[in-house]
Amino acid sequence: MRSWDLNPSRKKLKIEFPTGLTGIVGPNGSGKSNIAESIRWVLGEQSAKTLRGTKMFDVIFSGSADRKSQNMASVTLTLDNQDEYIKSSFSEIKVARKLFRNGDSAYFLNEKECRLKDIVNLFMDSGIGQGSLSIISQGNIESILNSTSEDRRTIIENVAGIYKYKQQKTTAQKELTTTSDNLDRVNDIITELESRMTPLEKQANLANDYLDQKKTADKIRKNKSLLLILND
């Protein structure tokens, strides 16, 4: 993982995590929480409160007595995916997030700009995505123990990797409801048009009768004119 100016970091950091469980220890104020929060942030965390801030711009280093403030926060997370644990064609997955003080932000997947949704979907059933318990910060354990049964159920679904499919089911159901509503509206329009067809058919028949009679009358007048000419 590479982190650049994620407040209150004072320098560019590069940290390599070995395979298995990793514990980050150190004295108070050494930046333990910043490391966990950097990973949460690059994976798409949208709550500034979760990152111990009041607004998202708080992740950008605001300066100190011996160092000027910065205009950008950036984190890049590189994952070894040779075992294809994450469903992707890439053997190495690199995720990056940047936030600028002017309000611009960007996400990158293997150095190509992407949407937050793309990153969330990629990691949703892996157990290491946004809001995952693979990253446990200070206070998280107490929060989990005090959570509601519904929240604990969501946690278990995330860990088990089935949350993604529940989300897909919910999305499909919403689309099905929307499609059903659209079909109802189409049927209403068809019914309304059908109710107009009978009088329109009558008008069309009257118009055709008029044209037929007019054609016959024109033919009679034409024949009458020819007879008058012959008689002369």
pLDDT value at residue 96? 94
Residue 149 has pLDDT above 90, yes or no: no
Closest by CA to 41, choosing from 111, 96, 100, is 96
Chain position carrying tokens 């860990």: 159
pLDDT value at residue 142? 72
Give the global pTM. 0.56
pLDDT value at residue 192? 83
pLDDT value at residue 201? 83
pLDDT value at residue 163? 65
Three-state SS annotation for the chain: CEEECECCCCCCEECCCCCCCCCCCCCCCCCHHHHHHHHHHHCCCCCCCCCCCCCHHHHECCCECCECCCCEEEEEEEEECCCCCCCCCCCEEEEEEEEECCCCEEEEECCEEECHHHHHHHHCCCCCCCCCCCCCCCCHHHHHHCCCHHHHHHHHHHHHCCHHHHHHHHHHHHHHHHHHHHHHHHHHHHHHHHHHHHHHHHHHHHHHHHHHHHHHHHHHHHHHHHHHHHHC
pLDDT value at residue 84? 82
Q: Share the mean pLDDT of the chain.
A: 79
Closest by CA to 163, choosing from 186, 191, 194, 131, is 131
Residue 102 has pLDDT above 80, yes or no: yes
CA distance 49 to 51: 5
CA distance 53 to 182: 44
pLDDT value at residue 113? 94
pLDDT value at residue 198? 78
CA distance 45 to 155: 16
Q: How far apart are the first and last CA of the chain?
A: 111
**Between these two residues, 77 and 150, which has the higher pLDDT value?**
77
pLDDT value at residue 25? 80
Question: How many CB atoms lie under 10 A from the CB of residue 223?
Answer: 10
Q: Which of 88-97, 124-133, 142-151, 165-174 has the highest mean pLDDT?
A: 88-97
CA distance 77 to 39: 7
CA distance 185 to 224: 57
> Across residues 199-222, what is the average pLDDT?
84
pLDDT-based confidence at residue 207 (cuts at 50, 70, 90):
confident
